[in-house]
Every structure is written in C-alpha cells, then in structure tokens.
Amino acid sequence: MNLYLRQLLRLFKSGKETMQWDPKEFIACIQYPNKYDDENFQKVYGVQNSDMIAELMRLYKSKESLILTLNALCKMVKNRFRDAFQYYNAVRKVLSKQNKEEKLDNEVTPEEANKYISYQELIAVPQKVKKIIMDTYGEMFLSNNELSKLTKAKRIAYLRLIFDYVTLYLNVNYPLRLVWPSVYLKKVDGGNFLQGTKLYLNEIKNVRLMGAQVIDLDGTTINLIANFLHFLSGSLRQIPTKLLWRVYNNTPGEYDSNNGFSSVLSKLFVKYNGKPMSMNMIRHIV
C-alpha cells in the first residue's frame, strides 16, 4: 500500500472513532478544514487550528509522522484546493523546522547507540515492574488497611515498586524530556500541569521556539493516573500537589524539582532491565 495512503487511512480511522467522520465528511474536512481560534497554536504555527490538525496531533506524537501525514494531505489538495494546501503547508514548514533543530539538539552519541534496545523491549520495562507487584501483592494498589498489615520495610519496598512503575510507564509512553517530575495537579501559571485529560506544558525546553504545548493523554494513561492519585489520597492519606512520587530517605514524597531525574530514570532501567537508558535514547526509540 502507498505510504501516503496508509497515513490517510490511519487518520480516517482515528477520526471515525473520535469525530464520527464518514468517508465523505473526512474528505470534506481535508479539502475545507474546519478552523477555529487557538491562541497557543497560532503563536507557534501562524495559522488557526482545525479539527483535522487537532485530530492529526492527537493521533501522532512524533514530528516525523506528523510531517509525513501532512505531506499526504498537501499532495491530496495541492492542485484543486489552494487554500487548504497553503494551510497544511504552513503547519508542515513549522514542524519541519522544529524537527530539524531537535535532531541537531538530540543527536545520539556512539556510546548511546551501542546501548539501544528495541521499542518492544522498551515498552515492556514498566510491565516487568507491574508483574512483580501483581505476583507479590496480588493487586496493583493496596488499600490503607492492607498497607497497615505490612512491616515498615515491606511497605517501603512496595511503595518503591508503585512509584517506579508509574515513573517508567509515563516516561516510556510519553517521553517528554525531564518534564514529569514538574507536573502539578492544579493549574500553575507558567508551569506544567495536568487538567482533566490534558497535559499543559508551559515550562519545557525550546518553549520559545515551539510555544506552550497541550497533549491529550490516552484513556489507559488517564485511568492509571486516576487510580494512582486515588491510592495516594486514600491508601497513603496524602494530599498530592504533583504527579510523580518517589521514596527518599525511606519516606514517600514528591520531587522538589527535576534536577537529577535523568540519573534516577537511568538507574530504574538498570534495575529492571539491566541497561541504562537516557531520555534522549527513549525519545529516539519511541
């Protein structure tokens, strides 16, 4: 199957689920994008957002996939729908520039290349931790009553596993540099925060170039976060302000900052997979 056609089919299937597009509506939305005001989007791309672009960015996280699909859209409308072509091309140009600069910024060193693992191996690492938890405790999130039955040492060991699992899961499925330790659970002006199913990134590397980012988290991730926060508030009797937690000096708590988090992440991969893994390497694999 033609590569461009494959990208368009994936976009249609995604839009069919989320937007209830039928084939005719899908084609019409490509030819005449339903645009709307989005201040953050316009600052970055110089054009309005649209249902088609929003769906595209929900479907794909990598710029390579976004650019490839925009190539297909541009090819589809180039000759007959000039306004649509100029619109998609404007977004494509900005993404191409960002992608080029990020590649220069994130070039893999020869040492890192020798430590590469497959995507399948990478995505399986959090599941190794989950299996340990399930095999040892029979369920993921213990109740407060069940926690109280554990000795202090076993309780700390269990909490380490839970925090390690959540940390690995989020960073493998959404490799956002070293952002996760700084994510708040309430809106923070100029900061990174989670609100509903959306992750607002206002404090990230290259924010001046890329602008603030908004990421729609998938349902599985949202369910994990909801269960984890319920565990923190219910079982641990804590009132969390940030998403990521750790055990420090045998005490559970939030990260003060993302300083040193790169080392923490690498050590987790050594612990559960026998190989160090940097965020830079994860981003290249994913």
Q: What is the residue-averaged pLDDT of the chain?
A: 87
Mean pLDDT of all residues in 247-269: 90
Predicted local confidence at residue 1, as pLDDT:
41
pLDDT digits (tens, 9 = 90+) for 2-46: 667 777 888 888 888 888 888 999 999 899 999 999 888 999 999
Please tell me the pTM assigned to this model. 0.61
pLDDT digits (tens, 9 = 90+) for 60-106: 877 888 888 899 899 889 888 999 999 999 999 999 888 776 655 55
Hey, where are the domains in the chain? Answer: 21-105, 115-283
Tokens 């690498």 label which residue? 266
Tokens 């990208």 label which residue? 7
Predicted local confidence at residue 224, as pLDDT:
96
Predicted local confidence at residue 205, as pLDDT:
58
Given pLDDT bands bounded at 50, 70 and 90, which one contains residue 58? confident
pLDDT digits (tens, 9 = 90+) for 173-199: 988 877 899 999 999 888 888 999 999
Tokens of 185: 């659970």
On the 0-12 / 13-18 / 19+ scale of CB atoms within 10 A, 11 is buried
pLDDT digits (tens, 9 = 90+) for 128-156: 999 999 999 999 999 999 999 999 999 99
Which residues 6+ apart lie within 8 Å of 78 measured at CB?
Answer: 85
